[in-house]
Amino acid sequence: MSHPYFPDLTIETAPEEARPHMRAMRDRLGYLPHAVARMAHSPGLLDGFGIMTRLFDASALAPIEREVVVMTIATRNDCELCVAMHTTILRRLRADADVVAALRAASPIPVERLEALRRFTLAVVTTAGGVSDDELTAFTEHGFTARDALDVVLGVGAYTLSTFANRLTRAPIDPPLRPFAP
């Protein structure tokens, strides 16, 4: 399971700057995820991801809406670890099973507002932010705002960072998440 370039670091072996983040994650989850143990090779990346996710979590989007953005990025970027992790979060949020299944399959969501969010997230990614006026209109017609559009960009940034890092380091799915692996 170890990676020759990105072996799992422990709190004791990680750079000093990464240790507070690692301790906080371990204390919150009860274990140190492989992804964090590997991201710790770059304290800046680990810190940046933490800051970006806190900002995204404080965005105007509702919790399930944020998870739609995250899962859209996770499936698009083929991050199996992220899919497993965020499936557990969706279950904790009591998201409808059909919504979870659609997100895991990168398929249309059976809830119009959430599907509009999924499509907008994909448009942001595929156009590198150059979303057309028609796509913006389709998004806002479902009750989303200009702030929501920019919060989607924040989520795309945070979770692109995470999915890329997890894939680069080949972070394995942690045992508590394995039942939700794709």
Q: What is the CATH number of the domain that holds 119?
A: 1.20.1290.10
- Rounded Cα distance between 112 and 115, Å, is 5
What mean pLDDT value characterizes the chain? 96
Supply the pLDDT for residue 80: 96
Task: Read off the pLDDT of residues 129-163 as tens digits, 9 standing for 90 and up.
Answer: 999 999 999 999 999 999 999 999 999 999 999 99
Domain containing 116 equals: 61-168
Classify burial at 12, counting beta carbons within 10 Å of its beta carbon; exposed 0-12, middle 13-18, buried 19 or more: exposed
Give the mean model confidence (pLDDT) for residues 8-17: 97
Classify burial at 149, counting beta carbons within 10 Å of its beta carbon; exposed 0-12, middle 13-18, buried 19 or more: middle
Alpha helix segments (H runs only) across 58-111:
63-76, 80-92, 97-104
- Other CB atoms within 10 Å distance of the CB of residue 147: 11
Query: Considering its fold, how many domains does the chain have in total?
Result: 1
Tell me if 56 is assigned to some domain.
no
SS3 assignment, position 93: coil
